[in-house]
């Protein structure tokens, strides 16, 4: 099992560019989520999904889109990157709707200039 994989590991964008952060898991978890981590702010939930075809907003959803067409994949789209989106992004998955341990990916460090 690869667990939770994220690509890319590092990315630099210019303001206004769009991109997709990829996240995949091979554990058949129905619950997947995206967090951003900023200094002093902890982990803040961006979007989450309780199954294929079902997504919902977290605490800081503005500027991000998600979709969940399969159980395995949960991509995060930045529509028009802004410097405020410079952060480290973590994808996570869990079974039983998040009632159990979250398995985190290694993170993507994004810089928007």
Partner 1 sequence: AQKVTQAQTEISVVEKEDVTLDCVYETRDTTYYLFWYKQPPSGELVFLIRRNSFDEQNEISGRYSWNFQKSTSSFNFTITASQVVDSAVYFCALKEEGGSEKLVFGKGTKLTVNP
Nearer to partner 1, 75 or 107 (CB): 107
Q: In the structure encoding, which two tokens stand for residue 3, read together?
A: 């667990």
- What 3-state DSSP class applies to 97? helix
Q: In the structure encoding, which two tokens stand for residue 33, read together?
A: 């989520």
Supply the minimum distance, in Å, between the C-beta of residue 98 and partner 1. 5
Q: Does 104 bind partner 1 (CB under 8 A)?
A: yes
How many chain residues are in contact with partner 1, going by CB under 8 A?
Answer: 28
**Is the C-alpha dihedral spanning 54, 106, 104, 62 positive or negative?**
negative
Q: How far is the C-alpha of 13 from the C-alpha of 24, rounded, in Å?
A: 22
Question: Which of 31, 34, 64, 74 is close enough to bind partner 1 by CB under 8 A?
Answer: 31
Which positions touch partner 1 (CB under 8 A)? 31, 33, 35, 40-45, 48, 50, 56, 58-59, 88, 90, 92, 94, 97-104, 106-107
């Amino acid at each position: 099992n690869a667990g939770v994989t994220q690509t890319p590991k590092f990315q630099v964008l210019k303001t206004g560019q769009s991109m997709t952060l990829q996240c995949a898991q091979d554990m058949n978890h129905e619950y997947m989520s995206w967090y951003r981590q900023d200094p002093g702010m902890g982990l803040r939930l961006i979007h989450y999904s309780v199954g294929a075809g079902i997504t919902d907003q977290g605490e800081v959803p503005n500027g991000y889109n998600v979709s969940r067409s399969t159980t395995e994949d949960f991509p995060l789209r930045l529509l028009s990157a802004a410097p405020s989106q410079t952060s480290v992004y973590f994808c996570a998955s869990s079974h039983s709707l998040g009632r159990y341990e979250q398995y985190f990916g290694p993170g993507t460090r994004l810089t928007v200039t």
